[in-house]
Structure 1
Amino acid sequence: MNRFRGKVAIVTGAGAGIGRATALRLASEGAQVAAFDISRERAEETVKTIEENGGRAAPFVADVSEKVSVEASVDAVVTQLGLPFCLVNCAGILKISPALTMTVEEFDAVIGVNLRGVFLMSTAVARHMVAAAQPGRIVNVSSIHAAISLRDSAGYAASKGGIEALTFTLAADWAEYGITVNAVRPGATWSALTTPMYTPEVLSALEKRIPLGAVAQPEQVAAAIAYLASEEASYSTGAVLAVDGGYTVNGDLPGKEYSPR
């Protein structure tokens, strides 16, 4: 498929996990990918992989929690690559700490990257789309923990719930401009963020809890993101697509397995 041929796509958190898988997937379908990451090394590694597979990409170093960094990086994409058709907000962090001992700084750090980052990136990109009278796609990466509690992660859960609320609001606000705003809601997914936490005991509990019986590969989530970024999803906005192997519809709830994005 070449659903994104001739189009520019920005992917944040493109250096690892779902972000990297999404950058590779969009590039494989013809997109020129602006690979955003706070780590230059990771961004460049993703770009190298894309180019080795015949795709086109460029690395951009950005701290999505900082307005100046976001706006400078988005402006650079427009100048160097052209107006983006698609933005995928994948950048995210996780801090495990009981709420009673979590510091305000820890909470703010998670909200800053996970939620403020989505707001800053989305508004920066949307301003360019509106100014050019060009429709576009924004896809946000939420988590099942927007709806299901994750112990000792108040900041992470709050950020993901906020992402979905923001998705609904921006979808309504920007429909008149032809900009669709949707979200995916991954369940347990292999990534640099989660792999250290998937002990044999945790994996056993997850495999029993997930009806499809396995933790997702990031490429499976990337496939859903690519759909929402494509013309095939042109009549979907304000939607949240679960990519969780049936986790949230399973009524049998073991107690303590760990399953963030």
Structure 2
Amino acid sequence: MSPHTSDGARRAALVTGAAGGLGRCVAARLHAQGYRVALTDLDAEAAAEAAAELDPTGESAVGLALDVRDKDAFSRALDDVVTRWGAVHALVNNAGHSKIESLMDITPESFTAVVDTNLNGTFYGCQVFGAYFAERGDGRIVNIASLAGQNGGTATGAHYAAAKGGVATLTKVFARDLGPRGVTVNAVSPGPQDLPVVRRTVDPQKLAQTEAMIPVGRLGRPEFIADMVVLLVAEHADVVTGACWDANGGLFMR
């Protein structure tokens, strides 16, 4: 599983929402595997700090501003990375926005805001990078879906669950369209993850109740999700497309 192209150059990946959480973990794992990584985020300063932790020189890791709700922003980020490193080989659509709201209390504005980031952002990324990869005849896209999009969600709002369900469907649509042109599109669908933000924001008693409901008895490991992404963006992962890889501790089985 070499992170280098046939001419010896390092493969490059762009990860959205990479300033913290799961995105940062994915970016770090890709970098550790030898990829050049563009860490993008709405918070450009935080993205730059995260990239500097991986490579202070900026030669193999760079932080960029990217608002996934803006399709043109994806085009600018793509141009930036291509100018910097010559090519991009993988996109990880990780950026997300979640709100815990009672179903009947969700306002039109709130629903639109959550869908705009989670679903529209994934669509724009797949469009922009999908077209670029198709022109090159090679590319990998991994969309971060969610258990909420498969079972309707329990700890998240209906807008988040609906958007993530849409991500799973978009993955299949883009996979079918781009497959003949050498581009694979897959999704990873995590269940509850053991992330610092979860430990900070969720009441310990409620967290313990959540863990007790999971058949394996524990929250997921973000590092394993990152390993799944690394597998799916590999150059030789060319026969896996339109798939959704589950990692939910047994909360959802099929």
User: Which of 135, 147, 151 is residue 148 of structure 1 equivalent to?
Assistant: 151
> 1 CA distance for matches of 2:10 and 2:204?
44
Separation (CA, whole Å) in 2 of partners of 1:17 and 1:37: 12
Task: Give the distance between the partners of 2:173 and 2:119, measured in 1 at CA.
Answer: 14
2:239 to 223, 227, 235: 235
Give, in whole Å, the separation in 2 of the partners of 1:237 and 1:59: 28
2:198 to 194, 197, 201: 194
Secondary structure of the corresponding residue to residue 187 of structure 2: strand
1:145-224 pair list within 5 angstroms: 145-151=148-154, 153-191=157-195, 193-224=197-228
**How far is the alpha carbon of 1:195 from its aligned partner?**
3.3
CA contact (8 A) 1:17 1:190 kept: no
Report the CA distance between 1:205 and its aligned residue: 1.8
- One-letter code aligned to 2:233: A
In the alignment, residue 32 of structure 2 is paired with which amino acid? S
Which residue is equivalent to 1:139? Answer: 142
Contact persistence 2:189–2:247 (CA under 8 A): yes
- Equivalent pairs, count: 249
Tell me, yes or no, if structure 1 residue 41 matches structure 2 residue 45: yes
In the alignment, what sits opposite 1:257? none
Paired amino acid for 1:143? S
TM-score, structure 1 as length reference: 0.89
Aligned partners of 2:60 and 2:51: how far apart in 1?
Answer: 8
Amino acid at match of 2:168: E
* Contact preservation (8 Å) 1:94, 1:193: no
Give per-residue Cα distances to partners, 1:101-145, cap 9 Å, x unaligned.
2111111111111011011111111222222x3311100000001
Counterpart CA distance in 2 for 1:243 and 1:53 is 35
Aligned to 1:258: none
Q: 1:14, 1:20 within 8 Å by CA — same for their partners in 2?
A: yes
Match of 1:97 in 2: 101
Judge conservation of contact 1:16–1:192 (CA < 8 Å) in 2: no
**Stretch of structure 1 that moved more, 65-74 or 167-176:** 65-74
Task: Decide which moves more: 210-219 or 26-35.
Answer: 210-219
- 5+ residue gaps, structure 1: 251-261
> Cα RMSD over matched residues?
2.1
- What is the percent sequence identity of the aligned residues? 35
Q: Secondary structure at the match of 1:79?
A: helix
Moved more, 203-212 or 89-98: 203-212
Aligned-partner SS, 1:249: coil
Q: What SS is found at the alignment partner of 1:97?
A: coil
> Normalising to structure 2: TM-score of the pair?
0.91
Distance in 2 of aligned mates of 1:245 and 1:197:
21
CA distance in 2, matches of 1:63, 1:20: 16
- Aligned residue for 2:3? 3
1:128 is aligned to 2:114: no
Q: Work out the CA distance in 1 between the residues paired with 2:165 and 2:24.
A: 23
Match for residue 75 of structure 1?
Answer: 79
Q: Distance in 2 between matches of 1:77 and 1:53?
A: 16
Secondary structure at 1:202's aligned position in 2?
helix
Secondary structure at the counterpart of residue 234 of structure 1: coil
Work out whether 1:109 is the aligned partner of 2:117.
no
